[in-house]
Amino acid sequence: MKKGKHSTFNIQHSTSKESETAAWEFNEGGGPDRKFDLEDRLLEFASAVIDLSENLPATRAGNHIAGQVLRSGTSPLPNHGEAEAAESRADFIHKLKICLKELRETRRWARLIKRKAWVKNETTLLFVLGECEELIRIFHASIQTAKRNAQAGARKLSVLTRYASDEAG
């Protein structure tokens, strides 16, 4: 394997896009119309988090939580971009874990905002909570898949190394 190149995993390719202007549309049914471009979903999620943070009360606590949810809720978008440009499979997994960690933090802040009933129109808050749950599941599954692929690659390399040493000896 050449230095700087990855075997067959997809970290060197950005997520596919049907069109740059097409935004991910929330479709509860998950039918064939549903778009699965993760970058677009993360962009839409970050945008909703910004809207949510802007609607929190201008109090000491409201400002604190607005800052926290803003940081954690917008972080997965650029971190996903970092994962796409990962230098190794381990780096890819690490960056996906950062996305997952930030999403879990966002979920907790959003739950606190809901508990405090700080937003008048709950549509954005409910979207953030629902999408956060789905994104957590996606990132968790992606991490598990990447770990399995890394283990399979390590086993394959071990077998190839053993085979090569048997032929040399």
Residue 103 lies in a domain: yes
**Residue 76 or 161, more confident:** 76
**pTM beyond 0.85:** no
pLDDT bracket for residue 10 (50, 70, 90): very low
Residue 11 lies in a domain: no
Range of the domain at 84: 37-168
Residue 29 lies in a domain: no
Q: How far apart are CA 35 and CA 112, in angstroms?
A: 30
pLDDT bracket for residue 33 (50, 70, 90): low
pLDDT bracket for residue 121 (50, 70, 90): confident
Extended beta strands in the chain, E state: none
Q: CB atoms < 10 A from the CB of 103, how many? A: 26
pLDDT bracket for residue 156 (50, 70, 90): confident
Here the CATH number for the domain that contains residue 119 is: 1.20.1440.60
Report the domain count for the chain: 1
Residue 26 lies in a domain: no
